[in-house]
């Protein structure tokens, strides 16, 4: 196997130590930073997402894979900057106001990072005003809203209305997700995208923002 295959496999297996070792080897071997990113990290996380979507892996496996990916990305980042490699897009993500459940949101953020996006995580209990401020400051391609409760999912509509009122709705796409959310609800409140889980969130965002078909 080549060095990038080793790197990719170590991320899939969530083996942080080996990921760092292979990343250092790839950098030392002068493999272009963008190639390491795409073939070693993004490709690995796409496979992790595929395995999650088809029930071959679950949240713990996704978490350790994302941790390995991040540890490799930290080593790679200076080389990406030096090579002027940009993120494929930018996402502002948060759990909506009144809701402090954040593991689903965190998983979506990790999978989007793993797909090459820059992710600005606003945390939990995020008001519509906070989303607006973040959109103005960061100019994201997508705003992602999470909610676990039927009592808080209604706040997603407030975010979309606030984007409308601020004249920002045309600039960003909106994705929503969380246990009680459905495709119908997303359509009803005017969201652009719904995803039932973290893995499909990443693939659907790629499809929407980058026009890349899901595997």
Partner 1 sequence: MTKREVIYAVLEGKKPPYVPWSCGFTKEAREKLQARYGVTDLEDALQNHLLKLGSDIGFFTELGEDRVRDVFGVVWDRSIDKDIGNVEGCVLSEPTLHSYSFPDPLDPRIFADIPGRIAGFWDRFRVFQIGFSLYERAWTLRGMQNLMMDFYDHPAFVHELLNTIADYNIAQVNEALKYDIDAVYFGDDWGQQRGLQMGPKLWYEFIYPVLKRMYAAVHAGDKYVFAHSCGDVDELFDDLIGIGLNCFNPFQPEVMDVAALAQQYCGRLAFHGGLSTQRTLPYGTVENVRAETLRLLETGQEGGYIFAPAHDVEGDVQLENMLAFIDLIQAQPGYRTS
Q: Which residues bind partner 1 (CB under 8 A)?
A: 14, 55, 57-61, 63-64, 67, 98-101, 103, 106, 125, 149-151, 154, 179-180, 196-197
CA gap 180, 108 in Å, rounded: 16
Strands (E), the chain: 89-95, 117-121, 142-146, 173-177, 193-194
Burial grade of 30 (CB within 10 A; 0-12, 13-18, 19 or more): exposed
Q: Report the nearest approach of partner 1 to the CB of residue 60 (Å).
A: 4
- Toward partner 1, which CB reaches closer, 14 or 89? 14
- Toward partner 1, which CB reaches closer, 6 or 13? 13
Residues 42 and 2 sit within 8 Å (Cβ to Cβ) = no
Q: Report the nearest approach of partner 1 to the CB of residue 200 (Å).
A: 10
Q: Report the nearest approach of partner 1 to the CB of residue 98 (Å).
A: 6
Provide the CA 202 distance to its chain's centre, in angstroms: 6
Q: Report the nearest approach of partner 1 to the CB of residue 139 (Å).
A: 29
Residues 116 and 87 sit within 8 Å (Cβ to Cβ) = yes
- What are the phi and psi torsion angles at 8 (to 5°)? -60, -45
- Toward partner 1, which CB reaches closer, 86 or 150? 150
- Toward partner 1, which CB reaches closer, 51 or 210? 51
Q: Report the nearest approach of partner 1 to the CB of residue 155 (Å).
A: 12
How many alpha carbons lie under 13 Å from residue 86 in its C-beta half-sphere? 3
- Toward partner 1, which CB reaches closer, 190 or 196? 196
- What are the phi and psi torsion angles at 31 (to 5°)? -70, 135
Q: Report the nearest approach of partner 1 to the CB of residue 84 (Å).
A: 33
Nearest CA-CA partner of 197 in 60, 118, 117, 104: 104
- Toward partner 1, which CB reaches closer, 38 or 67? 67
């Amino acid at each position: 196997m080549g060095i990038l295959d080793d790197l990719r496999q170590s991320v899939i297996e969530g083996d942080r130590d080996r990921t760092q070792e292979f990343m250092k080897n790839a950098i030392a071997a002068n493999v272009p930073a963008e190639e390491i990113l795409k073939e070693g990290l993004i490709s690995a996380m796409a496979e992790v997402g595929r395995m999650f979507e088809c029930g071959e892996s679950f949240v713990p496996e996704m978490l350790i894979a994302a941790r390995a990916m991040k540890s490799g990305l930290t080593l790679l980042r200076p080389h990406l900057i030096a090579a002027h490699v940009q993120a494929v897009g930018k996402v502002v993500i948060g759990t909506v106001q009144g809701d402090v459940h954040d593991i689903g949101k965190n998983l979506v953020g990790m999978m989007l990072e793993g797909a090459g996006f820059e992710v600005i995580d606003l945390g939990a209990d995020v008001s519509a005003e906070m989303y607006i401020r973040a959109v103005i400051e960061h100019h994201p391609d997508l705003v992602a809203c999470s909610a676990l409760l039927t009592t808080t999912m209604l706040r997603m509509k407030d975010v979309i209305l606030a984007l409308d009122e601020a004249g920002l709705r045309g600039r960003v796409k909106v994705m929503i997700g969380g246990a009680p959310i459905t495709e119908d609800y997303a359509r009803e409140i005017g969201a652009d995208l719904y995803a039932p889980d973290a893995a499909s969130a990443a693939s659907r965002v790629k499809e929407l923002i980058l026009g890349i078909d899901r595997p």
